[in-house]
Structure formats: C-alpha cells, structure tokens
Amino acid sequence: MAAERNTQTHKTLRWPGGQIPYVIDKSLSPCTDLIKSAMNEFHANTCIQFTPWAGENDYVCIMSGNDCSSHVGKQGGRQLVSLGVGCRYKGTIMHELMHAIGFHHEHNRPDRDNYIIINWRNIEEGEGHNFKILHTNEVDLYGDYDLNSIMHYGEEAFAKNKTIPTIKVKSAKVRLSGPAEKQKLSQGDIEKIRNMYCKGNY
C-alpha cells in the first residue's frame, strides 16, 4: 500500500482532465466487476474517469502481482497497479487507484504527528518506510487530516504483535480501520480529489 500535501506537487504527474485510461490484465479477469465497482466510486463522486485503454501512450495496467502497490501519479507509458491475492477488496483497490491518481498515504503527511502516534517498536522489520513523514516540499495538501481516508493505514498495519497498534489516534478513542475494511471514499478523500482535479466542475 503505498496525502495538504498528500498529493504529488508536480503537475506533470497529474492525469490531464482527470482521464485515466486503463487495462485490466487477463490475470485479474475474475476481479473485473470488483475493480469496476471501485472505479465507480470515483466516477460517482468526482470528475475522475477511468476509461478503457484505446491506444493512449500513458495508461494504467491493473495486474495480478505479489503485493498491493502503485506508483504515485502519472508516470508515463504503461504504468502498473499490482493487486496480489491479499489485495482483492474494493477498499484496497480504491487505495491503489488513489495512488495512481496522485495521492500519498494520509499517515505520511507532514502534520501527522499532530493527530497520531507511531509505535515504531512494533513495526515489522523492514517496513518502517511505510510510516515515514513526507516533507512539505514533497506533497501538496488539499484538505484537513482525515482519519477516515481510504489512504490511511489501519491501527494494526505491519504490526509484529497484532494485539498492539502500530498507529494510535492522539485525541480520541477511535479505531482506525484499514483500506480493506472500507467500501467507499471518505468525504475528505472526495473533497481532496475535487480540489486537485475538479475545480469548476463541482
């Protein structure tokens, strides 16, 4: 799983007009309806449109891989979104598509320490990079910190001991659910996408 600034700062990494051509690799044919359901959350609430690839130079290829991963923003050419066996949930697919649109993780935002505490000692070895803070020159903020974002890890993400949270909310007794547990974008996600791509359209 791969934030304002929780989006890429460089406008060249944005998809022109919010139009994102895509191909679903045959390795994911059984998941086509689920992937399209995730895409429809963007279509219904924002100006983002995932459109079947028609030979464009820049497009997203959604394929079966070893992990859940995506580059952040438009990279140019054929751009992979990997959905491993453990990634085939509507919320996880929306999470990876948000990366492809141009969004980093919410919990990597420069202001995250105002809202959450990271328990570094309970993070699995080699996974600490998933919790690093992005600098203000790396991302653009398009809204307030959002604990309900599809881009926020759950409280047990990459935990050595699953009974102890790796992420704890500072100011409230809130259970952080991970992307796989969610069925829709948060209102904060919607507003950030609209602010990034859809001004004048909503």
The yes/no answer on whether domain 11-101 falls in CATH 3.40.390.10 is: yes
Give the containing element (helix H, strand E) for 139.
Answer: strand 139-140
Domain range summary for the chain, segments of one domain joined by +: 11-101, 106-198
| Helix, coil or strand: residue 47 | coil
Same fold, 11-101 and 106-198: yes
Positive or negative, the CA dihedral 3, 103, 181, 121 is negative
Task: Round to whole Å and give the CA distance between 137 and 30.
Answer: 41
Give the pLDDT confidence score for residue 136 in this predicted structure: 87
Among 161, 134, 151, residue whose Cα is nearest residue 189? 151
| Helix, coil or strand: residue 168 | strand
Stretches where the chain sits below pLDDT 70 are: 1-12, 200-202
Task: Round to whole Å and give the CA distance between 3 and 22.
Answer: 23
Q: Which residues are annotated as a binding site?
A: 95, 99, 105
Give the pLDDT confidence score for residue 82 in this predicted structure: 97
Any idea what DSSP says for residue 46? S
76: left (phi > 0), else alpha (psi -120 to 50), else beta? left
Per the residue annotation, which of 4, 41, 96, 155 is the catalytic one?
Answer: 96
Q: What does the block give as tokens for 89?
A: 């949930």
The yes/no answer on whether domain 106-198 falls in CATH 3.40.390.10 is: yes
96 in catalytic set: yes
Q: Which residues are annotated as a binding site for Zn(2+)?
A: 95, 99, 105
Among 98, 93, 72, residue whose Cα is nearest residue 82? 93
